[in-house]
C-alpha cells in the first residue's frame, strides 16, 4: 500500500478531531443542527491550522446519507468519496491555478446543474485571494444568490486581499494558531498509535518548530521518525531539528544577568565553532530574553504563554533577582539592533558587541525608588545626620543617577548602596509631640485643637511621611497646608492657582492620600481638599501661604519657559516631576 505521510494519515475526519478551533467547530455544528446553514463560507487563518480539513468535514456533514448531521458517518459512499477526493458533487479548486475570469465563467455555468448523488453541490476554493479582480466581480452575483443546491466554501491565508464585496456575502471564520500544548498532545496521540517511543520534551520541541501549524508539526515529526526510527531520543530530535544552539541560551542569559562579559564572549565563541548560524541564533536569543521579561511581569500567569513547561521554572530562577526595567532594557537593545545586525557582514562580531553592551549595562532601578532614596538623603542632611553607605541603601547606576539629578536638581545619587530601604511601620501620631496633650483618643478624633503651631508641626510631619511613602505624590503636596483636623477629617489647603489643584481633587489622588493618612494616624482619616484664597487671607498662616503662592507663581513661569517646552516636545516620554526654586547661589 502506498505510504501516507502523517499529515494526511491523521487528518481530522470529524469535528471532534479538529484541534484548537473550538469556536469555529461549535458554530458550524450548531448551524447544522438548527438548519441555518449559509450558502457561502470564508475560512481564513495561518497555514496548517485546519481550514481545508474543516471544509471537507462540513461537506461530509451536509452530504452524508444520514445527514445533514453534525457527525458524519464516514461509512456511506458520499462520505468515503469526499474523503478520497473523488466526489462529483464536492469540487476542490485551487485558486492560484484557476484565477482567471474564464474559469469563473465556467463555474457559473456548472452551478446550474443539480448534484449527481448528494443533496448539495459544494465548491471548495483554496487560496481564494489569488483570484483576479475581474474573476471576483464575475462571481459576485452567483455568490450572493446561488441555486438552493450550491454551497461555496473559500479558504485563504490572506483574507485582507479578498474584496469587501466578497466578504460581505460570506460567513467569515477566523482560524487561530494552535497552541504548543495542543500540538504536543496531538503528536503524542500519533506516536501512541504508531508505536513510537518519544519523550514529552522532544514532542514539545517538535511542536515549537511547527510554529502554531499542526500540519507543519506533523511533517517535522515524520522527518524525525525517518532520522531516528521508532525509538527517538532527545539528542536525535536536537540533531534532526538543528536545536544544538538552544543549549547556549540559558548559559548566555545567565552570563549577561551576572554582568560577566568575558563568559558571554566564551559562549559565543563555542557556538560559532560549533557551526551555529549567528543570525538564527540572534532570533532565538531575542525570543529567549522576551520570555524572561514575560515571566518576570506575569509569573503567576506564565502557563498561558506559549512556553514549554519545563522551561518556565528555569526562566523564573534566572529572573528572580533581576528588575523588570533591566530585562525590558535588554529586549529594547536587541530589538533596536536587530535590523543592523541582519545587515551586518560580520554577524559574529556584531553579536559580540551587542551582548557585551548588555552585560555592562548597569542595573536599572525604578525612578520612584530613586526619588524616594534621594528624599531620605535630604531628610538626613536636614537633620544634620551623616549620609553613609549603611543609612541609604539602593545602588543607582550612572543612568539612574542622571535621571535623578535631572528630576531633583541634585548631585546626591552617588552615595547609594546595594539594597532597597526597609519600610518602617509608623508610630501612631500623638498630638503631644507638637505641643498639645490629648486626654484620650476620643478627644483626638472629635475635638482636635486647631492651633496654628500644632497644625504646622503636624503638616510638616505628614508631608515628610507622604514623601517617604510616595515620592511623586509628596512632590505634588509640597505647597499644601493643613487647614483643620477634627472629627477624623483632615482638610488640606492649596493655593487657588496651584497647578496640581484639580488633580489633587480627583478621587484617585484622594484615595492615595487617605491610604497614607491611615498608616500615619493608625486609623481611618477622611481627606478634604480645599482652595486657599491667599489674597483675602481667609486661612490660617497667611504669611506662609503667601510665600508658597509666590513660589508657585515662579514654578508656573518655569513650566512656560520656551527651552523647557522645546525639551518636552523633543522627548515624548519626558515629564516634569518636581520644580525646585534656587534661593541662593553657592
Q: Which DSSP state fits 362? A: P
- For 333-386, how does the pLDDT look when each residue is reduced to its tens digit (9 = 90+)? 999 999 999 898 999 999 999 999 999 888 776 666 677 777 777 777 766 665
Q: End of a domain among 150, 174, 198?
A: 174
Q: Which of 161-165, 297-301, 466-470 has the highest mean pLDDT?
A: 161-165
In a domain, 458, yes or no: yes
Q: Does 472 share its domain with 520?
A: yes
In a domain, 325, yes or no: yes
- At 405, the pLDDT band (50, 70, 90 cuts) reads very low
- Report the distance separating Cα 217 and Cα 192, nearest Å: 16
Q: End of a domain among 222, 241, 260?
A: 241
Helix axes of 180-194 and 214-228: crossing angle, nearest 10 degrees: 40
Q: Which of 114-128, 447-461, 494-508 has the lowest mean pLDDT?
A: 447-461
Secondary structure class of 93 (helix, strand, coil): strand
Q: Which of 57-61, 298-302, 472-476 has the lowest mean pLDDT?
A: 298-302
Q: Does 169 share its domain with 20?
A: yes
Q: What is the pLDDT of residue 175?
A: 94
Contact 248, 270 (CB under 8 A): yes
Q: Which DSSP state fits 87? A: -
Q: Does 160 share its domain with 212?
A: no
The CATH number of residue 220's host domain is 1.10.8.60
In a domain, 270, yes or no: no
Q: Does 292 share its domain with 207?
A: no
Q: What is the pLDDT of residue 150?
A: 93
Q: Which of 254-263, 481-490, 546-555, 565-574 has the highest mean pLDDT?
A: 254-263
Q: What is the pLDDT of residue 458?
A: 85
Q: What is the pLDDT of residue 32?
A: 93
- Check whether 573 has a pLDDT greater than 70: no
Give the residue-averaged pLDDT of 408-436: 41
**Angle at CA of residue 515, ends 512 and 516, nearest 5°:** 90
Contact 203, 234 (CB under 8 A): no
- Single out the residue of 377, 422, 379, 386 nearest to residue 404, CA to CA: 377
Look at strands 40-44 and 90-94 and give their pairing: unpaired
- Report the distance separating Cα 88 and Cα 82, nearest Å: 9
- Check whether 423 has a pLDDT greater than 70: no
* DSSP H/E element including 538: none
Q: Which domain holds residue 297?
A: 276-359
C-alpha cell of residue 39? 450558502
Q: What is the pLDDT of residue 23?
A: 92
Q: Does 93 share its domain with 190?
A: no
- Report the distance separating Cα 315 and Cα 472, nearest Å: 33
Give the residue-averaged pLDDT of 399-426: 40
- For 311-326, how does the pLDDT look when each residue is reduced to its tens digit (9 = 90+)? 788 888 888 888 888 8
In a domain, 479, yes or no: yes
In a domain, 427, yes or no: no
Secondary structure class of 283 (helix, strand, coil): helix
Look at strands 90-94 and 481-486 and give their pairing: unpaired
Q: Does 157 share its domain with 193?
A: no
- Check whether 440 has a pLDDT greater than 60: no
In a domain, 579, yes or no: no
As a whole number of Å, the CA-based R_g of the chain is 35
- For 11-23, how does the pLDDT look when each residue is reduced to its tens digit (9 = 90+)? 999 999 999 899 9
- Single out the residue of 456, 446, 406 nearest to residue 571, CA to CA: 406
The CATH number of residue 21's host domain is 3.40.50.300
- At 538, the pLDDT band (50, 70, 90 cuts) reads very low
- Single out the residue of 467, 471, 497, 492 nearest to residue 482, CA to CA: 492
Q: Does 544 share its domain with 405?
A: no
In a domain, 54, yes or no: yes
Query: In the predicted model, what is the mean pLDDT of the chain?
Result: 79
- Single out the residue of 260, 281, 284, 259 nearest to residue 270, CA to CA: 281
Report the share of the chain in percent with pLDDT over 70. Answer: 76
Look at strands 171-174 and 150-156 and give their pairing: unpaired
- For 131-159, how does the pLDDT look when each residue is reduced to its tens digit (9 = 90+)? 999 999 999 988 988 899 999 999 999 98
Q: What is the pLDDT of residue 43?
A: 95
The CATH number of residue 312's host domain is 1.20.272.10
In a domain, 149, yes or no: yes
Q: What is the pLDDT of residue 172?
A: 94
Q: What is the pLDDT of residue 215?
A: 92
- Report the distance separating Cα 422 and Cα 405, nearest Å: 23
Report the share of the chain in percent with pLDDT over 90. Answer: 30
Residue 432 burial by Cβ neighbours in a 10 Å radius (0-12, 13-18, 19+): exposed
Q: What is the pLDDT of residue 498?
A: 77
CA 423 to chain centre: 31
Q: Does 52 share its domain with 188?
A: no
Q: End of a domain among 174, 196, 227?
A: 174
Q: Does 394 share its domain with 530?
A: no
Q: Does 284 share its domain with 209?
A: no
Q: Does 285 share its domain with 395?
A: no
Q: Does 34 share its domain with 152?
A: yes
SS3 assignment for 210-240: CCCCHHHHHHHHHHHHHHHCCECCHHHHHHH
If one counts the domains in the chain, the total is: 5
Amino acid at each position: 500500500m502506498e505510504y501516507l505521510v502523517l499529515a494526511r494519515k491523521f487528518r481530522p475526519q470529524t469535528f471532534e478531531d479538529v484541534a484548537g478551533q473550538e469556536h469555529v467547530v461549535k458554530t458550524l455544528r450548531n448551524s447544522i443542527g438548527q438548519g441555518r446553514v449559509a450558502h457561502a463560507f470564508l475560512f481564513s487563518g495561518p497555514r496548517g491550522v485546519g481550514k481545508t480539513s474543516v471544509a471537507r468535514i462540513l461537506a461530509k456533514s451536509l452530504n452524508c446519507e444520514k445527514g445533514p448531521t453534525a457527525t458524519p458517518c464516514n461509512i456511506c459512499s458520499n462520505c468515503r468519496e469526499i474523503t478520497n477526493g473523488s466526489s462529483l458533487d464536492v469540487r476542490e479548486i485551487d485558486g492560484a491555478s484557476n484565477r482567471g475570469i474564464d474559469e469563473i465563467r465556467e463555474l457559473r455555468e456548472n452551478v446550474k446543474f443539480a448534484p449527481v448523488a448528494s443533496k448539495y453541490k459544494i465548491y471548495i476554493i483554496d487560496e481564494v485571494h489569488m483570484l483576479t479582480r475581474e474573476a471576483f466581480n464575475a462571481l459576485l452575483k452567483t455568490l450572493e444568490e446561488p441555486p438552493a443546491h450550491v454551497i461555496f466554501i473559500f479558504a485563504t491565508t490572506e483574507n485582507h486581499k479578498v474584496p469587501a464585496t466578497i466578504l460581505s456575502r460570506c460567513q467569515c471564520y477566523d482560524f487561530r494558531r494552535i497552541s504548543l500544548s495542543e500540538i504536543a498532545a496531538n503528536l503524542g496521540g500519533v506516536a501512541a498509535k504508531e508505536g513510537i517511543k518519544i519523550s514529552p520534551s522532544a514532542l514539545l520541541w517538535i511542536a515549537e518548530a511547527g510554529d502554531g501549524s499542526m500540519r507543519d508539526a506533523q511533517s517535522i515529526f515524520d522527518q524525525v521518525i525517518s532520522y531516528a526510527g521508532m525509538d527517538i531520543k532527545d539528542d536525535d530530535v536536537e540533531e534532526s531539528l538543528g536545536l544544538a544552539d538552544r543549549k547556549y541560551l540559558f548559559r548566555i542569559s545567565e552570563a549577561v544577568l551576572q554582568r560577566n562579559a568575558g563568559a558571554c564572549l566564551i559562549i559565543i565563541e563555542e557556538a560559532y565553532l560549533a557551526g551555529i548560524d549567528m543570525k538564527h541564533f540572534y532570533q532565538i536569543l531575542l525570543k529567549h530574553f522576551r520570555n524572561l521579561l514575560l515571566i518576570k511581569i506575569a509569573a503567576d500567569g506564565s502557563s498561558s504563554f506559549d512556553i514549554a513547561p519545563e522551561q518556565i521554572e528555569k526562566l523564573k530562577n534566572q529572573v528572580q533577582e533581576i528588575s523588570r526595567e533591566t530585562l525590558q532594557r535588554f529586549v529594547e537593545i536587541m530589538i533596536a539592533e536587530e535590523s543592523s545586525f541582519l545587515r551586518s557582514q560580520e554577524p559574529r562580531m556584531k553579536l559580540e558587541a551587542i551582548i557585551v553592551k548588555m552585560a555592562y549595562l548597569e542595573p536599572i532601578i525604578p525612578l520612584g525608588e530613586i526619588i524616594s532614596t534621594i528624599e531620605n538623603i535630604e531628610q538626613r542632611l536636614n537633620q544634620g545626620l551623616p549620609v553613609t553607605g549603611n543609612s541609604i541603601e539602593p545602588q543607582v547606576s550612572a543612568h539612574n543617577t542622571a535621571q535623578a539629578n535631572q528630576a531633583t536638581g541634585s548631585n546626591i545619587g552617588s552615595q547609594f548602596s546595594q539594597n532597597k530601604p526597609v519600610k518602617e511601620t509608623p508610630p501612631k501620631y500623638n498630638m503631644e509631640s507638637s505641643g498639645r496633650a490629648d486626654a484620650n483618643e476620643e478627644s483626638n478624633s472629635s475635638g482636635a485643637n486647631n492651633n496654628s503651631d500644632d497644625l504646622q508641626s503636624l503638616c510638616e510631619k505628614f508631608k515628610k511621611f507622604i514623601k517617604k511613602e510616595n515620592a511623586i505624590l509628596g512632590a505634588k503636596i509640597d505647597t499644601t497646608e493643613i487647614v483643620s483636623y477634627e472629627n477624623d477629617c483632615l482638610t488640606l489647603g492649596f493655593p487657588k492657582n496651584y497647578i496640581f489643584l484639580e488633580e489633587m481633587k480627583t478621587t484617585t489622588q484622594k484615595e492615595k492620600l487617605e491610604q497614607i493618612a491611615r498608616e500615619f494616624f493608625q486609623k481611618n482619616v477622611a481627606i478634604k481638599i480645599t482652595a486657599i484664597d491667599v489674597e483675602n487671607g481667609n486661612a490660617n498662616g497667611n504669611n506662609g501661604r503667601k510665600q508658597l503662592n509666590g513660589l508657585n507663581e515662579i514654578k508656573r513661569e518655569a513650566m512656560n519657559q520656551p527651552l523647557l517646552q522645546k525639551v518636552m516636545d523633543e522627548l515624548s516620554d519626558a515629564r516634569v516631576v518636581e520644580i525646585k526654586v534656587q534661593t541662593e547661589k553657592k
